[in-house]
Amino acid sequence: MTTDQNFTLAEQLDRDDQLRNFRSRFYIESENTIYLDGNSLGRLPIKTKELLSEVVEKQWGTELIESWNLHWYQKPAQLGDKIAPIIGATKGEVIVSDSTSINLYKLAHAALKLQKGKTTIVSDDLNFPTDLYISQGLLKEFGPDYKLELAKTTDGITIETEELKSKITKNTALVVLSLVAFKSAFMYQLEEITEHAHKMGAVVLWDLSHAAGAVEIDLNKCNADLAVGCTYKYLNGGPGSPAFLYVRKDLQDKLSSPIQGWFGDALPFEFDLNYRPVEGIRRFLTGTPPVLNLMAIEPGIDMVNETGMKNIHQKSTQLSEFFLSMADSELSDYGFEVGSPTEPEKRGSHVSLKHDEAYRICQALIHPKSSTLKIIPDFRDPDNIRFGFTPLYTTFKEVWQTAQRLKEIIRDKEYEQFSTQRSEVT
């Protein structure tokens, strides 16, 4: 397809897009900014802006401490129940609490205790560093018999299912995996991996950070054990919004949180001097949540539920397929290589392009010198530019414009005007 044909196609796809009206429910300051980093920090829903001023002025300002009973105390469980359908869980199986890293620690620790006698954790070398750091920390805590086995990628993009399966043995206590890999967007087959792990007697803890709100997930259908995930990416909960955790119903009372905070006690306001974990999902709460961040999550989740994950996943696939087709027909002569799986069923909602000058190209997209168009993807070492497609607000025209800007930056060597010195946050 030519550039012009792709433009016509983009216009057609936008016209046919059933989700196109959701874009106006987000705060978009300028149509000249194309935001392709919703896989890192989702855009601000307009309703969140309004809600936060109510939370600050009415709830905190006027109702003060009464707001705990009126609005705040039940919110972690209420939000958990609203996240449940997004990930294929049941009410009472999900709760909002702490950060993804802390939730991963709590659930991984609890699983290792449950699996006493088995001493291996299995993960992969495409996993997000925090998942591996926490696993490494648990090895120190549980003792020298424990070890971490990593399935290895051969192409930097995917993990072969057989490679992963070969690492899971009868001695595997826990398998910790990101459903969608943060760099390449590679996506595991959740059901197949879970089933295999169960056959070997292992518990699986899924990190859904790059998947929740982007792809269809059915934890209950797959009999998944445990999961955690961020709310600030495709759920649009806001910077630093607390994370969610999922524990299958029948496992909840068999597991104990290693952080025995008072919010997980049966009756926190009795102030008993001895901890008595409450029954059910609340036992994985720790202490007072960051209320402003917590309250900010709801409008984003409501929008995802209103749209439905089937529709979201379908548009996500269309957006990335369109981008990949242009990567093939328009960008390959410009030194770009695809750093994501090309099969849609093996991919999340972002696409990575690799280039020797990836960092400086990314800078040129974000800080244009010769264009009125500002495009925000992000950069991941050593050579990946990640383009995150958020079906609720990304348009096909934006995807087309991004491909044209990439060509322009290379053709005019605009990236040469930028330093290779990395910013603190890339």
Residues near ligand PLP, by CB under 6 A: 99-101, 128, 130-131, 178, 182, 207, 209-210, 230, 243
CB 214 within 8 A of CB 220: no
Q: Which is nearer to ligand PLP, 285 or 409 (CB)?
A: 285
Shortest reach from residue 128's CB to ligand PLP, in Å: 4
Residue 54 Cα distances to 33, 37, 82, 186, 346, angstroms: 28, 28, 21, 40, 42
CB 384 within 8 A of CB 183: yes
Q: Which is nearer to ligand PLP, 207 or 414 (CB)?
A: 207
CB 205 within 8 A of CB 174: yes
Q: Which is nearer to ligand PLP, 78 or 130 (CB)?
A: 130
Pairing of strands 172-178, 203-207: parallel
Sequence-ordered list of residues with C-beta below 8 angstroms from that of 318, at least 6 positions apart, any chain = 13, 396
Q: Is 232 designated active site?
A: yes
Shortest reach from residue 13's CB to ligand PLP, in Å: 28
Active-site residue among 82, 233, 315, 405? 233
Active-site residue among 106, 386, 387, 396? 386
Q: Is 233 designated active site?
A: yes
Q: How far apart are the first and last CA of the chain?
A: 33
Q: Which is nearer to ligand PLP, 22 or 244 (CB)?
A: 244
Q: For 51, which DSSP code?
A: H
Q: What are phi and psi of 422, to 5 degrees?
A: -75, 145
Distance CA 59, CA 188 (A): 42
Q: Dihedral of CA 58/60/65/69: which sign? A: positive
Shortest reach from residue 27's CB to ligand PLP, in Å: 22
Q: Which is nearer to ligand PLP, 75 or 210 (CB)?
A: 210
Q: How far from chain centre, in Å, is Cα 359? A: 23
Shortest reach from residue 79's CB to ligand PLP, in Å: 15
Q: Is 356 designated active site?
A: no
CB 169 within 8 A of CB 200: yes
Shortest reach from residue 180's CB to ligand PLP, in Å: 8
Q: Which residue numbers are catalytic?
A: 128, 207, 232-233, 386
